[in-house]
Amino acid sequence: MSKIKVGVIGTGFIGPAHIEALRRLGNIDVVALADVDEETAKEKAAQLSIDNYYGDYRKLLADSAIQSVHICTPNNLHYQMAKEALEAGKHVVCEKPLAITVAEAEELVELAEKEGLANAVHFNIRYYPLIRQMKMMVENGDIGDIYAIHGSYLQDWLFYATDYNWRLEPELSGKSCAIADIGSHWIDLIEYISGRKIVELFADFATFHKIRKKPLKPLETYAGKILKPEDYADIPINTEDYATVLFKFDTDARGVLTVSQVAAGRKNRLYFEMDGSNRAVAWDSENPNYVWIGRRDGNNEQLMKDPSLVFPEVRELISFPGGHNEAFGDTSKQLFKEFYAVVATGKVSQQPLYPSFEAGLRETVLCEKILESNEKRQWIKV
């Protein structure tokens, strides 16, 4: 059986997670990677056992054997790389955010449609099996009319002023840090599960570390050593490390989200509760194999991820029996499984199961509205 040939651009944190997930599918051959320069690409190719490597992504795109490309680079590069990949006739899976402006995201949606190529944004959190279970509970009326959706996405990796990353630099990350980086996942998930659209929002941002200390040399150089004051530069920070956003949906439903990247002890906790007229549900990404189901009359329940307990359609996203936990790495595998099933048939649907560039555009629009609301200190219609 011939395998689909894939190239991956960017092999920092998430690129290797894509590669591992792709390899677990079986019908994919990751044939090449590209990174920022030849030396980095060579080193990564050796670590990841990939035959071909390029210090320039355009060379990867020029390889006619490659059918599909995954873009796993900093945010400011997504638009240009996705555009060129589509123009080179490749299917594209792009990391979030799809682009850093709405105009760029719109152009990518149009181009992908014109070229008839499969396109996805890596909103992998949708692919925890119990997320689809909750979506189906909403569709089946189990939750009833949704009154309120509230929750948070909390992390602590920017807790200290000495914590530093390209995500803090607007030229690389865009005008938003916490909302674009993690709030985007929460908002995508909420609209996906509830089927409701946000129509109005009010945002309040804070930047607790207004000056951060940027290491002047790569951190690895100092591994195990204590940095001295002269090893840092003071950098003013213009993007948020905290935000609260109020939402109104296209029904009577209301919502509120808190995101923070300075919440001590919270490593990567996406949490929400959805209160409906029949039941409530709650889910925590640090304990993703359980859903809490709240009832007014009778005992509350805890549903465990188990193929025999979920809706038949949800079983498609489960690889192992109950009690055998599935987690972060499995979500990408399940997303790519749906994506490459479409690529394999050659029939690109305009309304695929997986999050397409349309979902990426939606997040870009919402992010711009959130920024506008914070700047103007007022409710903004979407």
SS3 content of the chain, % helix, strand, coil (to 5): 40, 25, 35
Please state, in angstroms and rounded to a whole number, the distance separating the CA atoms of residues 318 and 26: 16
DSSP code of 305?
-
Nearer of residues 41 and 146 to ligand NAD, judged by Cβ: 41
State the nearest-atom distance from the C-beta of 121 to ligand NAD, in Å: 9
Q: Give the pairing of strands 380-381 and 198-206.
A: antiparallel
Please identify which residue in the block is written with the tokens 């990426």. Answer: 360
Residues 45-84 that bind ligand NAD (CB under 6 A): 57, 72-75, 77
Q: Does 36 bind ligand NAD (CB under 6 A)?
A: yes
Nearer of residues 95 and 275 to ligand NAD, judged by Cβ: 95
State the nearest-atom distance from the C-beta of 366 to ligand NAD, in Å: 16
In angstroms, how far is CA 120 from the centroid of its own chain? 11
Please state, in angstroms and rounded to a whole number, the distance separating the CA atoms of residues 121 and 19: 16
Please state, in angstroms and rounded to a whole number, the distance separating the CA atoms of residues 174 and 100: 5
Say how many Å lie between the first and final Cα of the chain, rounded.
47
Residue from the set 6, 31, 70, 95 that interacts with ligand NAD by CB under 6 A: 95
Classify 180 as helix, strand or coil. helix
Kindly give the interhelix angle for 328-345 and 14-25, rounded to the nearest 10 degrees.
60
Please identify which residue in the block is written with the tokens 């409710």. Answer: 379
Residues contacting ligand NAD: total by CB under 6 A? 23
Residues 5-24 that bind ligand NAD (CB under 6 A): 9-15
How many helices and strands (H and E) does the chain possess?
11, 17
Q: Does 104 bind ligand NAD (CB under 6 A)?
A: no
State the nearest-atom distance from the C-beta of 165 to ligand NAD, in Å: 7
Nearer of residues 34 and 190 to ligand NAD, judged by Cβ: 34
Residue from the set 6, 18, 19, 35 that interacts with ligand NAD by CB under 6 A: 35
- The piece of 30-38, 139-147, 186-194, 292-300 that touches ligand NAD (CB under 6 A) is 30-38
State the nearest-atom distance from the C-beta of 54 to ligand NAD, in Å: 9
Residue from the set 18, 70, 91, 122 that interacts with ligand NAD by CB under 6 A: 122
- The piece of 34-42, 103-111, 299-307, 355-363 that touches ligand NAD (CB under 6 A) is 34-42
Write out the residues near ligand NAD by the rule CB under 6 A: 9-15, 34-36, 40, 57, 72-75, 77, 95-96, 122, 124, 166, 181
